[in-house]
Structure 1
Amino acid sequence: MKASAVSPTLAVNEEVARRRAAGLPTVPLGFGEAGIPVHPMLTAALADAAPAAGYGPAAGIPELREAAAGYWTRRGVPAEAADVVAAPGSKALLWAVLGAAGGGVALPKPSWVSYAAQAALHHLPCHLVPGAAGVPDADRLDALGPELSTVVLTLPDNPTGAVAPPEAVRAVCEVAEKHNLLILSDEIYRDLVHDSATPFLSPAEVAPERTVVTTGLSKNLALGGWRIGVARFPGAEPRDAVIGMGSEVWSAPAQPVQKVAALAFTEPSALRDRIDASRRLHSRVATAVARILTGAGVTCPAPQAGFYLYPDFSGWAVRDDRELAARLLDLGVATLPGSAFGDDPGALRLRIATSLLYGENDEQRHQALAAADPARLPWIAAQLDRFENALRSAHERFGPSLG
Structure 2
Amino acid sequence: MKRFLTLLSISAWMFMNVFAQSEMKILSLEKCYDILYTENPVTDKIRMNRQITNLNQRIAQSGWYPDVQLEASASYQSDVVNFPLDMPNLDIPNFSKDHYNIALNITQPIFDGGRTSAAKQLEQDSGEMNEASMESDLLTIKEQVDRVYFGILILQVQMKIHETVISDLEEQLELVKSRVENGVLLPGNESSLRAEILKREQDLTKIHYDIMVGLESLAEILGTDEFLTYKLELPEKENWELQNQDILRPELAMIEARQEFLGTQKNLSDANKLPTVSVFVRPSYGRPGFNMFEDDLQFNWIVGVQARWSLKSARNASVKTDVFDLQQKQLSEDRTLFNRQQNAALNRLKKEIQSIEEQIQKDQEILELLRQVAEEKRSLVDEGSNTVTDYISALNDQYRAELQLELRKIMRVQAIINYETEQGWTWN
Greater helix percent: which structure? 2
TM-score interval for Structure 1 and Structure 2 normalised by the shorter chain: under 0.3
TM-score of the superposition, structure 1-length normalised? 0.18
TM-score of the superposition, structure 2-length normalised? 0.18
